[in-house]
Amino acid sequence: MTMFEDQLIESRKNKGEGKRSLVSLPLSLLIHAVVIGAAVVGTMWAIEDIPEPPIPVSFYAAPPPPPPPPPPPPKASAPKPKEQPKPQEVTAPVEIPQTLPQPAAVPEPETGVEGGVEGGVEGGVPGGVLGGVLGGTPGGVPGGVEGGVPGGEVEGPYRVGGKIAEPRKIVHVAPTYPEIARKARIEGVVILEIIVDKAGNVRDVRVLRGLGMGLTEAAVEAVRQWRYEPATLNGRPVEVYITVTINFRLQ
């Protein structure tokens, strides 16, 4: 019994030591881990001081002072005042005349001739009238022509009016409507001034207002073929001006 008891006691001792070794090993590992971690953390928090970079310092020489301003120009001397002329003394005349002498009249040059009239022209003849022509015959009327006879009348053409009535047309020719104007549908009025001579023929034609497309030419060609009874003045045929109007209208 004793031997068995001894073995039982020894077995229990071994079991107690085994339990103590299982507890002490993790504890030892934990202590070592804490120590190592503290050392690592201590090295991490140990930050070295970073030296400040050196500040460059430059030295500049001060600029030289500005030059002194130039001296002011010398003042111009004031001009000497001009001497004023002394006023002359005016002496009043002893006797003042009541009237001033009149200037001598200059005679006008004589350009007329003996027997002439005032307002005549140089080269006229005694007995002529104002408004006559050089070389005319005494006793004629103003507006005549050289070589006429006394008592004659001024040649035409005249303007219709007063003693001169408009001559009556006895032959009428209608103007031809140009084909180009007809196709273009051109209409309008042509106004002409004509001279009817002593025989009643159209002597001259002047265009006062015309049209294109050959209408003016057609009007002139037709009017030149017209015939009139001559206009008269004091029973004699005379030339007269007449204004005619040609209407071009498409039917």
pLDDT band at 101 (very low <50, low <70, confident <90, very high): low
Pair of tokens at residue 185: 């549908």
- pLDDT tens digit sequence for 114-128: 655 565 666 566 656
CB 125 within 8 A of CB 137: no
Reported confidence tier of residue 29, pLDDT bands at 50, 70, 90: confident
3 state SS of 210: coil
Residue-range domains of the chain with CATH? 158-248 (3.30.2420.10)
pTM of the model: 0.41
Pairing of strands 231-233, 188-196: unpaired
Pick 119 or 230 by higher pLDDT.
230
Residue-wise pLDDT tens digits, 61-73: 667 778 888 888 7
Contact 141, 154 (CB under 8 A): yes
194 contacts 207 by C-beta, under 8 angstroms? no
CB 194 within 8 A of CB 242: yes
The amino acid that residue 156 corresponds to is G
Measure CA 106 to chain center: 58
Q: What does the alpha-carbon distance between residue 180 and residue 217 come to, in Å, rounded to a whole number?
A: 13
Q: Is the pLDDT of residue 26 over 80?
A: no
Structure tokens at 208: 């006062």
Helix (H, G, I), strand (E, B), or coil: what is residue 230? coil
